[in-house]
Amino acid sequence: MIQTHIAKILHLKVEAGDTTHSLANIILRRLKMRVEATRTNILLVLDDVWEKIDLDVVGIPSRDSRCKILLTTRSFDVCRDMSVDFPFQLSLMSKDDAWKLFVQSIGSVWKEHVGGNHSNEEGGGRRLLFVMVVFVGFKN
């Protein structure tokens, strides 16, 4: 699911026969190509993560210094399982306040909002994983 969502954000065509491995390679190539072509870095935002996501399997270059990942979770186990570098606890905010804070914080370096939105509710109130990929001009 997350892999398909990231592919859509990157405007990649997902074929019915694509395997997880082939789609990961396509995502990885597109991200690296974009970083090289635009001389920007990647900020991947994963909101409300409930279980470990193997970023390498998805196609995210998580060990590349040009890729920064911001994830939110209610589970310290997820932080541990994903080897989070700087875990810290926050109080809950409303969706609108959280979005305003994000835009205020990242706004000055925001070059291109490739995809995603801040609505993470599906019919029936079920929460969906919020994913956004932003290419920004931050320095390593």
Torsions phi, psi for 4 (to 5 deg): -65, -40
Give which of 16, 78, 74 is closest to 53, Cα–Cα.
78
Report pLDDT for 136.
56
Crossing angle of helices 20-38 and 2-9, rounded to 10°? 30
pLDDT tens, residue by residue, 78-118: 999 998 888 888 777 788 887 777 777 665 555 444 444 44
Nearest to 67 by CA among 85, 47, 50, 48: 85
> Which helix (H) or strand (E) covers residue 26, if one does?
helix 20-38
User: What percentage of residues in the chain have a pLDDT greater than 70?
Assistant: 74
* pTM, entire model: 0.66
- Domain boundaries in the chain? 2-136
Task: Kindly give the parts of the chain with pLDDT less than 50.
Answer: 111-129
